[in-house]
Structure 1
Amino acid sequence: MRPIAEFAVSARPDRGFVEVYDADAILGDDEAFRAARDHVVAGDGYHLYLYSLQPDIRVRVAIRLWESAPPPPADAEGHTPVTLDSETGILVIGQLALGPAGTMDLPQPGLYEGTAWWVGRRATSDYYDQTLRQLAGDASPELLTQAWAQCPTREQYVLDLGRAGESRPEAEWHDEVTRAP
């Protein structure tokens, strides 16, 4: 089975975070933001926050749309069910203060449900920490940029989503935070 649509982008996890949100979403939810630190992925309906264990090495974020979202692969380090509402039909992959990394046009606006899963998170963090220890006081920006580009593992977050219906009114999202168990 192949996805209906697919989009992937490389993003820098500003302060450890990458976010995926509807283009018309206003501000994210502080509770969901905090929950992502504990659960890797958390959201409030219009925003999903993806939490990396490092803030500098670019990560791959893939969004795949399916008729019915498949289960995560057996080699995933972790996974969680997610819901994302897009009233505009445009998703933004954001890097917090660094701005958008890319956008995806959905086939149609609506409520999307599925699974977020990730691989390479721990290995990339280990490489990051080891590199900082090895370079200690000799870490020029150029040397760090080169080291981050040479990371032997790829940290990746995948959202496998299927359209579940029409967008929900914003009032229904109030106080709802989705997060990994």
Structure 2
Amino acid sequence: MALITEYRTPATPDYGAVEIADANTGITDDDALKTARSQVVAGGSQHLYLYSLQREIDVEVVIRIWDAPQPCPADAEGVVSVTLRSDAGALEINQFTYGPAGEMTLPRPGVYEGRASWNGRQETADYCDMCHERSVEEEWDLPRLRQARRQCPVQEQYVIDLWFRD
């Protein structure tokens, strides 16, 4: 089982979510976004939504394309099966207010199956909450709060492992 390509990018979970979508899809899938709030990762045919427990600290999004199905990662906090269609042969990683975080060119257009897994959600949310509490107690200015957020000891990460569906 060989890795064909991998793409990594940081993304701000603005409004608590990051979107992965076919590059030619401009419409938000509201139902999938709502489902992601309870399932962590959910999608429609051309969208995946990654739902974080916090909104300020960048998460790492990793998309890997494999030549065959992959086993579930043993060390993940959670795993769900996903299907994603890309007619454009490219995926955009979107932040709702801040715009695109990145774009990945796929080996070919079509339908991909796979798994989404995540780590660090609760720890990152707890750290973010602690930063807010300390910023009020210690009267931090905005630059100090931003600096504290950048020093988060845990990396919230979402890994999307995909393989082409024949």
Residue 124 (structure 1) aligns with: 124
Tell me, yes or no, if the aligned pair for 1:63 and 1:159 is still in contact at 8 Å: yes
2:68 aligned residue = 68
- Matched letter for residue 99 of structure 1: G
Alignment of 1:104-115 (within 5 A): 104-115=104-115
User: Which residue does the alignment assign to 1:176?
Assistant: none
Q: CA deviation at 1:95?
A: 0.4
How far apart in 2 are the matches of 1:80 and 1:140?
39
Residue 98, structure 1, aligned to residue 105, structure 2: no
TM-score (norm 2): 0.96
CA offset at residue 7 of structure 1? 0.3
1:41 is aligned with what amino acid? V
Q: What's the offset of the Cα at 1:130?
A: 1.3
Q: What are the Cα deviations for residues 130-162 of structure 1, in whole angstroms up to 9, with x where unaligned?
A: 111122152422011101110000000000000
- How far did residue 97 of structure 1 move? 1.8
Hey, what does 1:50 align to over in structure 2?
Answer: 50
CA shift, 1:2, in A, is 3.9
Q: Partner of 1:164 in structure 2?
A: 165
- Identity, in percent, stands at 49
| 1:114–1:162 Cα contact (<8 Å) kept | yes
In structure 1, the partner of 2:27 is 27
Matched-pair contact (CA < 8 Å) for 1:132–1:139 = no
Q: Distance in 1 between matches of 2:43 and 2:62?
A: 17
- Normalising by structure 1, report the TM-score: 0.88
Separation (CA, whole Å) in 2 of partners of 1:2 and 1:139: 48
Segments of structure 2 that go 5 or more residues without pairing to the other structure are: none
Partner of 1:149: 150
Secondary structure of 1:92 counterpart: strand
- Where structure 1 has 5 or more consecutive residues not aligned to the other structure, the ranges are 166-181
The DSSP-based 3-state class of the residue aligned with 1:18 is: strand
- Per-residue CA deviation, residues 70-115 of structure 1 (Å, 9 max, x unaligned), is 1232110101000000001010000012100000000100000000
Answer whether contact 1:4 1:65 (CA < 8 A) is retained: yes
Q: Check conservation: 2:2, 2:68, Cα contact below 8 A.
A: no
Contact 2:66 2:163 in 1 (8 A): yes
